[in-house]
Copies of this chain bind each other. A is one copy, B any other.
Amino acid sequence: MDNRPIGVFDSGLGGLTVIRELEHVLPHENLIYFGDTGRVPYGTKGNDTIMKYAEQIVRFLRGFDVKAILIACGTVSSVAFDVVSALAEVPVYGVVEPAARSAVEKSSQGDILILGTSATVRSGSYEKAIKRLNPDAVVRSGACPLFVPLVENDHFSKDDVLADMVAHEYLDTFLNRGVDTVILGCTHYPILRPLIAGIMGESVALVDAGSEMADTAAVSLEVRGLLSDRKDIGKQNFYVSDYSEDFTRLAGVLLEHSLAGYVEKTDIEKY
């Protein structure tokens, strides 16, 4: 039993899709969320910059005496998982392994498409994890560098013309080529799920990497005896490196309910 909070972080708003999932699978846990809205996006940056930003965030989260850290960001999970693990001194969960496992289980023909940021695709992280589980899998990948800017700028609804155009540009090349499973390898992408599902077609299974990580973390924390014994709903506090007028509204949209905790701006560069 451990009543300390769980730390969750992302480059921006996308990790809120993980918070939403945690509300279902770990409703009694206190959550500390950090979104690096002042430096988003990560996925088009170099690996050393991504690692440095991740280290600052881990130092920030450790100040809350968190009992575990969830990397709710496909880019950091792909590029800086080891760096985060080494610094965290508590259990760390990333999105890559859980998503790869789920995709291999769901895939009927072993033909899996990974959608991620440029840095994630460049790292080959998902591909390596899938090949370890199924060496015969056909693994394709598509970098979608504009999906994060789109989502962070409120272009994600089903009838958003821009989001639709960009999604077609990225996905059309993979249609009718045998893909049976798609990994949404960045935590911003589930927000575009209706769009992506509509383009890929009903027969293609979609794997939400952040959601898979939340499920994995819930089981693992229980096995380790690290869950809280509270009976009431856990508290949530949110920290961001840039606070724009839109944050609270957009966060509400992504969480599918209004923000239950306070939002505070923090100077992440000091960590």
- Copies of this chain: 2
Q: How many Å lie between the Cα of A38 and that of B50 in the bound state?
A: 9
Q: How many Å lie between the Cα of A165 and that of B172 in the bound state?
A: 15
| A152 interface hit (Cβ, 8 Å) | yes
Q: How many Å lie between the Cα of A247 and that of B128 in the bound state?
A: 27
Would A38 and B45 count as touching, CB distance under 8 A? Answer: yes
Q: Which residues of B contact A155 (CB under 8 A)?
A: 146
| A243 interface hit (Cβ, 8 Å) | yes
Would A153 and B269 count as touching, CB distance under 8 A? Answer: no
Report if A153-B145 is in contact (Cβ < 8 Å); known contacts: A49-B38, A244-B45.
Answer: yes
Instruction: Please provide the chain A residues from 111 to 166 with a CB less than 8 Å away from any CB of chain B in the complex.
Output: 118, 145-146, 149-150, 152-153, 155, 161-162, 165-166
- Nearest-neighbour CB distance to chain B for A79, whole angstroms, equals 12
Residue in B closest to A38 when the chains form the complex, CB atoms: B49
Q: Which residues of B contact A215 (CB under 8 A)?
A: none
Interface contacts beyond A44-B153, A146-B155, A165-B166: sample of 16 additional A-B pairs, CB < 8 Å, sorted by A: A37-B45, A38-B45, A44-B152, A45-B242, A46-B243, A49-B241, A118-B153, A145-B149, A146-B146, A146-B149, A146-B153, A149-B149, A162-B165, A162-B166, A162-B169, A165-B165
The 9 A-B residue pairs with the shortest CB-CB distance in the complex, in nearest-first order: A269-B269, A149-B149, A49-B242, A165-B165, A46-B244, A145-B153, A45-B242, A39-B39, A38-B49
Listed in ascending order, the chain A residues whose CB lies under 8 Å from chain B are: 37-39, 41, 44-46, 49, 118, 145-146, 149-150, 152-153, 155, 161-162, 165-166, 169, 241-245, 269
